[in-house]
Chain A
Amino acid sequence: MSQAQQPAPAAGSQPPAEPVLIVAPSPHMGNIAQTTRRMMLDVLLALVPVIVASMAVFGLYAIQQIALCMLACMAFEAMFSMLRGKGLTIIDGSAAVTGAILALSLPWSAPWYVGVVGSLIAIGIAKIIFGGLGQNLFNPAMVGRAFVMIAFAGVMGASAYVAPASRTDAPHAVTQATPMTARREAARKPAVATAPAAAATQPATDWNYVKRLFWGNVNGSLGETSAAACILGAVYLLIRRTASWEIPLGMVGTAAVIAGLMNLAQGGGPELLLHHLFGGALLFGAVYIATDPVTSPLTPRGKLIFGAGCGALVMLLRVFSGYPEGVMFAVLLMNSVVPLINRWTIPTPIGGPAPVKA
Chain B
Amino acid sequence: MTATGRMDFRGGVHPPERKSLSADAAIEVLPTPPEVRIPLVQHIGAPCESLVKPKTPVAMGEMIGKAGGFVSAPVHASIDGTCGMADVTTLPNARHVAVIPITAGPQTLSGQGLWDAIFGGEWPTRHLEDHAPQQIVEAIQAAGIVGQGGAAFPTHVKLVRNETKPIDTLLVNGCECEPYLTADHRMMIQLPGPIISGALLAAQAADAKQIIIAIEDNKPVAIDNLRRAVRGTKIQVVVLPTHYPMGGEKMTIRAALGRVVPTGGLPLDVGVVVINVGTAAAIARAVLRGKPLTHRVVTVTGSGVARPRNLLAPIGVSYKTLIEHCGGLTDQAARVLSGGPMMGLAIGNLDTPVTKGTSGITVLTSQEARKAEELQCIRCGRCVDVCPVGLVPTKIALACRFKDWDLARRYHLDACIECGCCAYICPSGIPLVQLMRMGKAEIPRKKK
A-side residues, CB < 8 A to B, are 1-3, 5-7, 9-10, 13, 16, 19-31, 34-36, 38-39, 92, 94, 132-135, 241, 244, 293-294, 296-300, 303, 342, 346-355
Whole-angstrom distance from the CB of B55 to the nearest CB of chain A?
Answer: 15
Q: Are A244 and B392 in contact (CB under 8 A)?
A: no
Contact A303 B381, CB 8 Å, known A26-B341, A350-B390? yes
Q: Does B412 contact A353, Cβ atoms closer than 8 Å?
A: yes
Majority secondary structure of chain A interface residues (helix, strand, loop or mixed):
loop
Q: How far is the CA of A39 from the CA of B431 in the complex (A)?
A: 19
Q: Encode B163-194 as 1/0 by CB contact (under 8 A) with A.
A: 00000000000000001000000000000000
Partner of A29, one of B324, B342, B372: B342
Find the A residue at minimum CB distance from B331. Answer: A19
A22 touches B334 (CB 8 A): yes
Q: Which B-chain residue is minimally distant from A31 (CB atoms)?
A: B425
Q: Are A349 and B35 in contact (CB under 8 A)?
A: no
Assess whether A350 is in contact with B384, with CB atoms less than 8 Å apart.
no
Contact mask for chain B residues 335-355; partner A; CB cutoff 8 A; 1 contact, 0 none: 111000111111111110000
Do A29 and B15 touch (CB < 8 A)?
A: yes
Q: Is B61 an interface residue (CB 8 A)?
A: no
- The total of Cβ contacts below 8 Å across the A-B interface reads 218
Q: Is the CB of B424 within 8 A of A29?
A: yes
Are A6 and B371 within 8 A (Cβ)?
A: no
Instruction: Assess A36 versus B375: contact at CB under 8 Å? Given A7-B324, A26-B345, A298-B394.
Output: yes
**Which residue of chain B has the shortest Cβ distance to A6 in the bound complex?**
B320
**Neighbouring B residues of A241 by C-beta, 8 Å:** 382, 385
Q: List 23 A-B contacts (CB under 8 A).
A: A5-B103, A10-B327, A21-B334, A22-B335, A24-B335, A24-B346, A25-B434, A26-B341, A26-B433, A26-B434, A27-B341, A29-B15, A30-B426, A35-B428, A133-B376, A293-B378, A296-B379, A349-B263, A351-B389, A353-B263, A353-B415, A354-B264, A354-B414
Q: In the complex where A27-B341, A29-B179 touch, is A350 in contact with B10 (Cβ < 8 A)? A: yes
**Contact pattern, B 365-389, Cβ under 8 Å of A = 1, otherwise 0:** 0101111100111111110110011
B231 at the interface (CB under 8 A from A): no
| A85 CB → nearest B CB, Å | 15
Residue pair B412, A354 in contact (C-beta under 8 Å): yes
Query: Which listed residue (A16, A23, A31) contacts B346, Cβ 8 A?
Result: A23
On whether the beta carbons of B262 and A351 are closer than 8 Å, the reply is yes
Q: Does B13 contact A (CB under 8 A)?
A: yes
Given contacts A10-B328, A36-B428, A299-B381, 5 further A-B contacts (CB under 8 A): A22-B334, A28-B337, A298-B392, A298-B395, A354-B263
A297 vs B344: C-alpha distance when bound (angstroms): 32
- Residues of B94-149 at the interface with A, using a CB-CB cut-off of 8 Å, are 101, 103
Q: How far is the CA of A298 from the CA of B333 in the complex (A)?
A: 38
A92 to B378, CA, bound (A): 11
Say if the beta carbon of B5 comes within 8 Å of chain A.
Answer: no
Q: Which of A28, A39, A347, A348 contacts B427 (CB 8 A)?
A: A39
Contact of B391 among A29, A300, A303, A349 (CB under 8 A): A349
Closest to B386 in A: A31
